[in-house]
Structure 1
Amino acid sequence: MKARDLALQGALAVVALVAAYLVWQRAPAGAPGDVTVVELPARALDKVRYEDEARYVELYRDARDRDALWVRLGFKPAKPLPPVEGVADASVDGGTSVDGGAGAALAQGATDAGTPASAQPPPPPRDMRANEVAQKLYPRFAPLRATRSLGVLDEKKLAEVGLTGSQRKLTLTLGGKTEAFTLASMTGGWGTPYLRRDSDGQVFLLGPALLPDLENATTRLVDRRMHVFDLGEFDAVVISSGGSSRAFVASGKAPNPVTLAPEESPDKPDEFTRNWHDRVWRLVPLDLLGRDEQPPGGEPKEAFRVEYRRGGKTVGELTVARATDGFYARTEHTPGWVRLHAGVDPLAAEAARVTTPVSSAGGP
């Protein structure tokens, strides 16, 4: 009898172990990518728009080139400022404000030539090239997948997850049609990216890595490269300044500086020009202007230009120009002008020496 009981208990233990193993092997109900929110191929996706209370970001395909992806960064119109209590009539002792003039100063600061600050239009949006991070992020929105579907939530639950009154939105444009979502607010949904489909009220939980790139698009999604080629991928350089030009033979490749020798004396490297070009090559943009955007004061005046060639064909160029607020540059890759850091004046001044032949200058 005891042996029979032991055998029965052993059989039950084996069944329990098998069941536990099968449960352990089964994928969890909330596995990432388990729920489809929007079922459309990435090729049908035209635009992804993220917005909050003050700004918006758009990832979109160029109408002239479907393979080109762009980032649009813009600001939304400011909301009207609340009235400042006591500005108009709160004064005592011969017109002295009871708040020591702070209210009047605030009212004055809220206007510009009689126009309220909140009524001034936002600056135009900037269109810039998308980088590799954006190229990989974009197709993840079509098809759009979520970790879980929570169904339609009541008002109490919507408030708990941060979806009540949220100004954060996600809009997908697919084949000319839009699908809009409300995203959880930062305070209510930080670290838990809930979104509510506006068309039917369905709530989903996104994966944690989908939205941060959009929220930080300026630093995460914009292509900040000046060139798409590297040192050593050109064999000649033509430098122009003040109406004069001079050609140099280039040799060497990254990570070392490129050696430059005058075209008329290819066996005599020019150390001064090499050092000058090395500093020019390492110029880094501080701020990127959008496509077709002009610096303050209009078109800047060219200071010098560097053209890069390989096999007699142009592979790229850099133009450095002076504007009213400093130096700007643009290349074959930038969509427009980029603002440069301070300290470019010496490079502009030395460009004249670089473009002057040794025989005319009496030696560098």
Structure 2
Amino acid sequence: MRARGVVLQGVLAAAGLVAAFLVWQREPAVLPGEEVVLDAPKQALERVRYEDASGWVELFREGSGDGALWLRLGTKPGPGSAPRELRANEIAEQLFTRFAPLRATRGLGVLDAQTLAEVGLKDSPRKLVVELSSGEHVFTLAGASIGWGSPYLRREADGRVFLLGPSLLPDLENAANRLVDRTLHAFGAGEYDALTVTLGNTSRTFLVRQRARRPAELVPPETPDSPDETARKWHERVWLLAPAQADFLGRGEEPPGGAPREVFRVEYRRGNEGLGQLIVARSAGGGFYARTEYTAGWAKLPPWADSIVLEAEKVTRGR
């Protein structure tokens, strides 16, 4: 009898775990007054596209690779410029998940032509397309004259109109400034234990010695008791390079005048494992660009980067 009781308790405990898991997986309940515009699980979401009279923005995940979220930016009209593809940041990740399920603060039903004009939905060039694994869903957004304070949305499948929350769409309209990932490396400052600086045919390797509450030292292997303070200060500036968001080029893009010519590179290691690299290059116009193991393409560096380039020769030659 005692054994049967133990078995029964085990079955009940397992059932409880399953129930808890299902509750955790379930989407949050719709708040009072909210309406579901598009009912879909997050894993079915593949692409979100916003467009207006001047351009368009897409957030999408690639079918292969690391599953990262990407941002595609295009302009209208005409095919003169190719769309730009950039890595999307954490703000974009959070925004993307809000489209499945897509919720509205209020449903207004089907409106007549006069009311559609009053709320900015008649002949509006603004569109929203949400692509799921099962197909596309198209919506019309209120025109610019209405503003984002009252983002009305019309579901094209049945003509129903909804009032979205004011925080959902502004990031898409300002995607080039708000949604681009400015991260240069996929690893942090404390994750590498050696780096090699190469300029032309000259290379110099440093071991990284971490210190409590003080900057890490760069130590030449041949003189382990003599940290190179010049190299440390130089590399601090290299590590903190932060290209302006608007100056990030997309995947496959090149600066004006063609591919820039490499000036120097810094390669990072942890033990025998290569973590990544930073390449700094000069464009045909004289400006400096950088790219890393993480960036989608080249990123234009600020004007003061020329001083880093000048000091790179001193660092590689040890004087």
Query: Is TM more than 0.5 here?
Result: yes
Name the residue aligned to 2:155: 197
Cα distance in structure 2, aligned partners of 1:43 and 1:210: 19
1:279 aligns with 2:253: no
1:107-165: per-residue Cα shift (whole Å, max 9, x none)?
xxxxxxxxxxxxxx442111111111111111111111111111110111111111112
Cα distance in structure 2, aligned partners of 1:314 and 1:77: 44
Name the residue aligned to 1:17: none
Residue correspondence of structure 1 range 154-303 to structure 2 within 5 A? 154-175=112-133, 177-252=135-210, 257-286=215-244, 287-303=247-263
Is the Cα contact below 8 Å between 2:148 and 2:169 reproduced in 1? no
> Which among 84, 95, 104 is matched to residue 126 of structure 1?
84
Amino acid at match of 2:179: L
Is the Cα contact below 8 Å between 2:197 and 2:267 reproduced in 1? yes
Cα distance in structure 2, aligned partners of 1:40 and 1:235: 46
Cα distance in structure 2, aligned partners of 1:253 and 1:132: 31
Name the residue aligned to 1:344: 305
Is the Cα contact below 8 Å between 2:148 and 2:170 reproduced in 1? no
Cα distance in structure 2, aligned partners of 1:135 and 1:281: 25
TM-score (norm: length of structure 2): 0.85
Larger of the two Rg values belongs to structure: 1
**Structure 1 runs not aligned, ≥5 long:** 1-28, 79-120, 358-363
Name the residue aligned to 2:46: 46
Cα distance in structure 2, aligned partners of 1:66 and 1:270: 38
Taking only aligned residues, the RMSD between alpha carbons, in angstroms, comes to 1.9
TM-score (norm: length of structure 1): 0.75
Cα distance in structure 1, aligned partners of 2:166 and 2:213: 37
Cα distance in structure 2, aligned partners of 1:172 and 1:183: 13
Cα shift at 1:222: 1.1
Q: Taking every aligned residue pair, what percent have the same amino acid on both sides?
A: 54
Name the residue aligned to 1:56: 56
Name the residue aligned to 2:35: 35
Change (3 A) 1:189 1:348: closer
Cα shift at 1:66: 6.9
Cα shift at 1:344: 2.2
Residue correspondence of structure 1 range 10-159 to structure 2 within 5 A? 31=32, 34-65=34-65, 67-77=67-77, 121-159=79-117
Cα distance in structure 2, aligned partners of 1:73 and 1:236: 37
Cα distance in structure 2, aligned partners of 1:152 and 1:141: 22
Change (3 A) 1:37 1:269: same
Cα shift at 1:60: 0.5
Cα distance in structure 2, aligned partners of 1:44 and 1:160: 34
1:318 aligns with 2:281: no
